[in-house]
Amino acid sequence: MYLLPIIPLCVIFCVGTTLSTPVPEYEKFLENPRYLNYDELTNLFRKLETENTGLVKLHTIGRSVKNRELWALEINSNVNNRTLLTPMFKYVANMHGDEAIGRQLMVYLAEYLIYNYGKVERVTRLMNTTDIFLMPSMNPDGFENSEEGQCESKDRYVGRENENHVDLNRDFPDQFEPQRAGTLLSGRQPETIALMTWIISRPFVLSGNLHGGAVVASYPFDDTSAHRTCCVESRSPDHDLFKKLALTYAENHQLMKKGDACSNENFDKGITNGAYWYEVKGGMQDFNYIHSNCFEVTFELSCCKFPFAKELPQEWKNNKEALLSFMEAVHWGVKGLVRTEGGDAVLDGDVVVVGLGHNVTTSNRGEYWRMLLPGKYEMYAVAYGFLPSERVTVVVEEGKTTIQNFTLKHEPVEQGNFKDLRSVDTDPFDEYGFVIHDNSIFKHHNYDELTRYLQFYHTMYPNITKLHSIGKSVQGRELWVFVISNTPNEHVAGKPEFKYIGNMHGNEVVGREMLLYLIKYLCERYGIDERITKLLNTTRIHLLPSMNPDGYEISKEGNKHYMILNVMITEANKCFF
């Protein structure tokens, strides 16, 4: 009733205006254009996070040489709990510290998305369906060493490189270069290590790497096995998809699509294969594709690396549509869940497109995303310990995401079904599965009894066991480790080492006794039961029945009062210090 006088007004003003002209987009950030330095950027991102809870989350994925945070701003309508099957997207800018446009564009993009959410339908849809990560600077030290107005890199690449004078886009592992000594991470820069870890550990689907000094979209591979400096196309298994992704950016960038924005440049449609243009060894783009599920394309945004800030509004206009369209491409192809028959997620399974030499693997929630161009594909999923799924035909249509789930069946295992290696007809085992029946083992073994028990089995089975102590408890008791294997005394290359630790809490004793029974079981069955023989032939097993022999000695059989015992254990320790 009370609303009646208001409604006619609203019809005239509100509905009338929204129908005729679209809602103006928020682009206030273009006023008074300037580059934000590290501190300003940090403050702005903190503010965006605080003022937009649930929509924005600030992450640091590591630190630069000079301890600056490598900020990544996550933007999604459900930022605290990514909705299942929502793909993760990232832009990484300013890897070369003096290539500054991408850095400031990430600030603009963040504000554009956040302030237009719920107002501009395209932005709302993007944020509802995509988990977006914007990293304005992978090289904040380099940026601080760079100068506005410098179109080319300074002497000795100060600014381009990180604080240690390393070009970060040459610091990643390269598929065609011989392996360095040590691990994949050895000897690399902190910025590189942070990005490598981030890329490998999170299920990113698509990524853009923003540079400057040219205007072109450059796609994998960046390197060849031919070791030529240029002009050899290095195709990845997803060559056509990468080309289309690069085109998606270039076509939507008024200068890039012409291919000749800077002098001496002539790129067909504004895109190029990386290695064809010039070879980059140790680049981030190839690393994404080779070592993770993420597809990355490199975008060179401007002829001048660090143009004056007055150019920034025009740069936003040049790149806005391209930045948005490329993000939307994360939804191309097929996605789904890989689960067991019981509905549990299958982790780290392979999702295979038949005939395409690049698999994607499932996330820790069993999700996968396989970017694909429109077409018909044959697919299946497989994971360790499971039988491959059936092959299914999947149709991918333009502008749609196909959903295809897979269910995997466990590989059958011989659960306790032993094959007797001797030629005897009768069951050689007692009701507990032991060869030598001995009811006296079913009691609690205190420290002295445990020691004798272990020595006994080592004496009886010297060829497949080793008994040693890995140290002493507070009260001087040995921490006995019993090793069982057909090679108990040394590590054999390729043979995995396994351990069980029992009785870490002195009053939790079942594990301790179980390991003693396991020793009897394994020793007695070696050479008799094929399953156990195979196990000991292929594995070196270490059993520490008691990690806390002192705690055990002061625990009482039948006691359930954990708290009281815990206090006693602590008190006992105090006496000895």
Ligand X SMILES: *[C@@H]1O[C@H](CO)[C@@H](O)[C@H](O)[C@H]1NC(C)=O
Which residues sit at the interface with ligand X, rule CB under 6 A? 77, 81, 83-84, 121, 124-125, 128, 336-337, 350, 352, 357-359, 382, 403, 405, 463, 486, 530, 533-534, 537
Tell me: does residue 211 bind Zn ion (CB under 5 A).
Answer: yes
DSSP state of 343: S
Q: Please choose which of Zn ion, ligand X, none residue 81 contacts, taking the beta carbon within 5 to 8 angstroms, the exact cut-off set by kind.
A: ligand X
3-state secondary structure of 458: helix
Q: How far is CA 543 from CA 372, 416, 424, 436, in A?
A: 49, 21, 31, 21
Asked whether 162 and 143 are in contact (CB, 8 A), the reply is no
The nearest distance, CB 213 to Zn ion, in angstroms, is: 6
Query: Between residue 510 and residue 549, which ones bind Zn ion under the rule CB under 5 A?
Result: none
The span from the CA of 222 to the CA of 297, in Å, is 10
Q: Token pair for residue 395?
A: 């149709």
Q: Tell me which stretch binds Zn ion (CB under 5 A): 74-82, 89-97, 353-361, 480-488.
A: 89-97
Cβ distance to Zn ion smaller for residue 319 or 402:
319
The nearest distance, CB 328 to Zn ion, in angstroms, is: 25
Asked whether 219 and 178 are in contact (CB, 8 A), the reply is no
**Tally of CB atoms within 10 A around 177:** 12
121 is catalytic: no
The span from the CA of 307 to the CA of 101, in Å, is 8
Asked whether 137 and 143 are in contact (CB, 8 A), the reply is yes
Cβ distance to ligand X smaller for residue 350 or 508:
350
Q: Please choose which of Zn ion, ligand X, none residue 510 contacts, taking the beta carbon within 5 to 8 angstroms, the exact cut-off set by kind.
A: none
Q: How far is CA 114 from CA 56, 80, 84, 134, in A?
A: 8, 15, 22, 12
The nearest distance, CB 372 to ligand X, in angstroms, is: 15
**Across the strands, what pairs with 58?**
73
The span from the CA of 64 to the CA of 439, in Å, is 64
CA-closest candidate to residue 299, choices 338, 341, 248, 349: 248
Q: Please choose which of Zn ion, ligand X, none residue 50 contacts, taking the beta carbon within 5 to 8 angstroms, the exact cut-off set by kind.
A: none
Q: Tell me which stretch binds Zn ion (CB under 5 A): 1-9, 67-75, 172-180, 206-214.
A: 206-214
Cβ distance to ligand X smaller for residue 443 or 534:
534
The span from the CA of 293 to the CA of 432, in Å, is 48
Cβ distance to ligand X smaller for residue 369 or 552:
369
Asked whether 293 and 11 are in contact (CB, 8 A), the reply is no
Angle between helices 121-129 and 101-116 (to 10 degrees): 100
Cβ distance to Zn ion smaller for residue 285 or 485:
285
Tell me: does residue 253 bind Zn ion (CB under 5 A).
Answer: no
Q: Please choose which of Zn ion, ligand X, none residue 96 contacts, taking the beta carbon within 5 to 8 angstroms, the exact cut-off set by kind.
A: Zn ion
The nearest distance, CB 462 to ligand X, in angstroms, is: 7
Cβ distance to Zn ion smaller for residue 211 or 540:
211
Tell me: does residue 96 bind Zn ion (CB under 5 A).
Answer: yes
The span from the CA of 256 to the CA of 86, in Å, is 30
Q: Please choose which of ligand X, Zn ion, none residue 223 contacts, taking the beta carbon within 5 to 8 angstroms, the exact cut-off set by kind.
A: none
Cβ distance to ligand X smaller for residue 414 or 431:
414
* Marked catalytic residue, from 49, 99, 191, 300: 300
Asked whether 464 and 488 are in contact (CB, 8 A), the reply is yes
Q: Please choose which of ligand X, Zn ion, none residue 405 contacts, taking the beta carbon within 5 to 8 angstroms, the exact cut-off set by kind.
A: ligand X
- Strand 333-340 and strand 401-403: the pairing is parallel
DSSP state of 11: I
Tell me: does residue 305 bind Zn ion (CB under 5 A).
Answer: no
Q: Please choose which of Zn ion, ligand X, none residue 352 contacts, taking the beta carbon within 5 to 8 angstroms, the exact cut-off set by kind.
A: ligand X
Per residue, the 3-state secondary structure of 82-97, as one string, reads CCCCCCEEEEEECCCC
Cβ distance to ligand X smaller for residue 122 or 165:
122
The nearest distance, CB 558 to ligand X, in angstroms, is: 39
Q: Please choose which of Zn ion, ligand X, none residue 446 contacts, taking the beta carbon within 5 to 8 angstroms, the exact cut-off set by kind.
A: none
**Tally of CB atoms within 10 A around 222:** 29
Q: How far is CA 442 from CA 300, 430, 432, 500, 514, in A?
A: 72, 14, 11, 20, 10
The nearest distance, CB 94 to Zn ion, in angstroms, is: 9
Asked whether 202 and 88 are in contact (CB, 8 A), the reply is yes
Looking up tokens 């291919």 gives: 259
The nearest distance, CB 381 to ligand X, in angstroms, is: 9
Tell me: does residue 370 bind Zn ion (CB under 5 A).
Answer: no
The nearest distance, CB 333 to ligand X, in angstroms, is: 15
Q: Tell me which stretch binds Zn ion (CB under 5 A): 14-22, 92-100, 149-157, 347-355.
A: 92-100
The nearest distance, CB 82 to ligand X, in angstroms, is: 8
Cβ distance to ligand X smaller for residue 400 or 534:
534
Q: Token pair for residue 521?
A: 């079981």
CA-closest candidate to residue 169, choices 98, 96, 219, 61: 96
| Residues 6 or more apart in contact with residue 472 via CB below 8 angstroms | 478, 479
Q: Please choose which of ligand X, Zn ion, none residue 211 contacts, taking the beta carbon within 5 to 8 angstroms, the exact cut-off set by kind.
A: Zn ion
Task: Tell me which residues are annotated as active site.
Answer: 300
Residues that bind Zn ion (CB under 5 A): 96, 99, 211
